[in-house]
Structure 1
Amino acid sequence: MEFLTRHGVTHFDATVDGYDSDTLARHKDEAAKHGVELEMIHIPWQDSIGLADEGRDEAIDNVCQWIENAAKAGLRGLNYNFLVLRASEGAGGGVQRTARRPGRGGSTYSSFVLAEYDNDKRYAAGEVSREESFERAKYFVERIMPVADVNNIQMACHLNDPPSQVLNGVEKWNFPVFDGLKRFSELVDSPNHGFNFCCGVASEGLEDPGKELPAIVKYFAERKKIFNVHFRNIRGGLNDFSETWPDEGDVNMHEMVKVLHEAGYEYMLMPDHAPHHADDVAPEGVTGRVRQAWAFQFGYIIALIQAVENESAG
């Protein structure tokens, strides 16, 4: 917690060690003692939901219970992934990547190059069309959103990463990016149905992220469909990209903050998928993200927020 407060963080989300209401409340209270607010948690993805197998209904029941527990603990919402393709080996689990690329100062960047990716391999999902992916998504959100609405819990879906057209036989539901996100957002009519919007993932599916991304962010922010933002930047675009430091990618992140501010967005801007370096390791006994990289990103985000607020104030 001191790492967060030391770097100016006031609100955060987390992956926690249990999802019963008492455990969630304990984590929220512990954060409050350090002057930060635990707003949301990441819930573990239940593979049966995306695969639509015999365990799907039980898995959805688990999510519904976590929603109720989150409300009892006083959380604002839950971040989740809707995944059909989840590779158990070689493709990075829920995120598909190829070899890392060298970056500035000896750091390395998470990267994806379709031409270098083993796209012939098949995993548990087999071959799934985009229409079938949306049918499975609809089944899921139609079950959980009535529970979320009763409990006033925002359900924020992270974008599939990367949004290539077809990977390992699965057509990604968020490709084309703008159309896919619109369709997902309209699966149910609920003020609590929206996105953990990752600027990086959206950019990964665009031909020219610097020009295309602002309009996409504006559209969903104005419609109050963004409940959390992963503030990633990339270099490249569709089928060939690297996740860079936020100040050196192809997207003008200052413009992203302006778009969100003007649309009335009021929630978190979070670092995500930071570059790696051999010197950047967590202290012994501490799990989690790269520390130096996140410290840099915290400062960068805070500076952009201050700049945009000062500009708007005249």
Structure 2
Amino acid sequence: MELALILPPWPNERWKLALQLGVTHAVTTLPFHVAGGHQASNPPGVPQPVVPHDVPPPEYRPWDFMPLLLMVQRFREAGITVSVIEASPPMHRARLGLDGRDEEIEWVITLIRNMGKLGIPVWCWNWMAVINWARTSTTTPTRGGALVTSYDHELMERAGPTVYGEIPAERLWQNLEYFLKAVVPVAEEAGVQLALHPDDPPVPSLRGIARILITPEALQRALDLYPSPAHGLTFCQGTISTMGVDVPHWIRHFGRQNKVHFVHFRDVRGGPTQFVETFHDDGQTDMYEAMKAYYEIHFQGVMRPDHAPTMEGEPNTEPGYMMLGRLFAIGYMKGLREAVLKTAAASVS
């Protein structure tokens, strides 16, 4: 079990902070070529274009071999291993089953094959159509005035349907099966683990767009669509917790099947339709029991802190992803891991 941080594809102070923390595994995005070396992203909850205006030209597609190779080498030469890619080529046509989905699937296949060539073991992906993770506030005060993201479904629904209208759940299930049949065999051949992220927030519909991966049972259904050692989960503790279930129980459930390929270690207070993010030691989940469950299932992948509060002195320009809260989280996670390992060793002796 290794701890990791999400780091940008180009070196900055966060790379050095990670190394100073003793973190040598990176979760990173695709190296989109934009000004300043940073990929712009929509705020949480804003619909994504089905035909993205920023798809790179054929001569620079960040999922091709050379951009990925150069990125991996940058990390390697800094003493950091790229363990997870947590980004994708455009996939909304694939999710919605529109014309052009096969081209998008080919882009994904290219990414997976190149990850295999470069020894990047895990791809974190999701099946949230049109709207990715959603929040209705990025400035909710928490302990000591730190800022967290929060969600109120009634507020979100006031926006009304998106321009894509009503998208039924069964359409997304059918398109997911089509996608898996095309992609999982490639991942098996490439030696890459696919880590499917649950829908965040886990509500049945978001502005008319169905959300299908909103319960542990639904995640199991997705895994059963195409059984394979390569097809597993990003176990996002915060999202699972908002489902109102016992998080350690479900770690063990999926872990016994070897389906936990990657972990987002975070916590919340609340349920699917109304919740707030928290400091990692201040939520509704027993985080020690969660860490203990990963030990019990012999989890061998990486876990990273996710959605940490913005702390004093930080600008909150990347809500959930500023650095100070994640530094706290890594220390907390290291402490939990050490406690679990020493307790287990003591019980054996």
Does the CA contact (< 8 Å) of 1:43 and 1:80 recur in 2? yes
CA distance in 1, matches of 2:263, 2:164: 28
More deviation, 16-25/236-245: 16-25
Residue identity in the other structure for 1:189: P
Q: Give the corresponding residue for 1:95.
A: 133
Where does structure 2 lack aligned partners over 5 or more consecutive residues? 1-14, 32-61
SS at match of 1:224: coil
Q: C-alpha displacement at 1:126, in angstroms?
A: 2.1
Q: Retained in 2: the 8 A contact 1:101–1:108?
A: yes
Give the CA deviation at 1:120. Answer: 5.8
Q: 2:64 aligns with which of 3, 8, 20?
A: 20
Q: 1:38 aligns with which of 66, 82, 91?
A: 82
Preserved contact between residue 156 and residue 207 of structure 2 (Cα < 8 Å): no
Counting matched residue pairs gives 299
Question: Which stretch of the first structure deviates more once superposed, 52-61 or 22-31?
Answer: 22-31
Q: TM-score, normalised by structure 1?
A: 0.89
2:227 counterpart residue number: 189
Counterpart in the other structure of 1:251: 285
Q: 1:15 to 1:247 in 2, by over 3 A?
A: same
The answer to whether the Cα contact below 8 Å between 1:109 and 1:242 also exists between their aligned partners in 2 is yes
Which amino acid in 2 is paired with 1:22?
Answer: M
* Other structure's SS at 1:117 match: helix
The CA deviation at 1:149 is 0.8
Work out the CA distance in 2 between the residues paired with 1:119 and 1:197: 30
Provide, for residues 191-214 of structure 1, a one-character-per-residue CA deviation record: whole Å limited to 9, x for no partner: 0101111100111222xx4xx222
Q: Which residue in the other structure is 2:166 paired with?
A: 127
Question: How far is 1:84 from its partner?
Answer: 1.8
Equivalent residue letter for 2:122: G
Say yes or no: does 1:239 pair with 2:295. Answer: no
Question: Does the CA contact (< 8 Å) of 1:126 and 1:169 recur in 2?
Answer: yes
Where 1:186 maps in the other structure, the secondary structure is helix
Deviates more, 1:31-40 or 1:266-275: 31-40
Counterpart pick for 1:205 among 243, 248, 251: 243
Q: Give the secondary structure class of the aligned counterpart of 1:196.
A: strand
Describe the shift of the 1:69–1:124 C-alpha distance in structure 2 as closer, same or farther (beyond 3 A): farther
CA distance in 2, matches of 1:240, 1:230: 20
Q: CA RMSD in A?
A: 2.0
User: Is it true that 1:275 corresponds to 2:314 in the alignment?
Assistant: no
Using structure 2 for the length normalisation, give the TM-score: 0.81
User: How far apart are residue 218 of structure 1 and its match?
Assistant: 1.1
CA deviations on 1:96-152 (whole Å, 9 max, x unpaired) are 222342101211221112233225611244212222211111111111011111111
Tell me what 1:214 maps to.
Answer: 248
Aligned to 2:204: 165
Deviation at 1:2, TM superposition (A): 1.2
Deviation at 1:219, TM superposition (A): 0.7
Distance (Å, rounded) in 1 between the aligned partners of 2:201 and 2:191: 30
Q: Distance in 1 between matches of 2:221 and 2:158?
A: 26
> For residues 232 and 299 of structure 1, what CA distance do their matches in structure 2 show?
13
Quick one: which of 95, 109, 112 aligns to 1:50? 95
* 1:51 CA drift (Å): 1.7
Residues 1:6 and 2:45 are matched in the alignment: no
- Equivalent residue, structure 1, for 2:186: 147
SS at 2:114's partner residue?
A: helix
Deviations 1:220-247 (A, max 9, x none): 1111111110001001123111110010
Equivalence for 2:144: 105
Q: Write out the 4+ residue segments of structure 1 that deviate beyond 6 Å after TM superposition.
A: none
Q: Percent identity?
A: 29
Task: Indicate the residue corresponding to 1:262 in structure 2.
Answer: 296
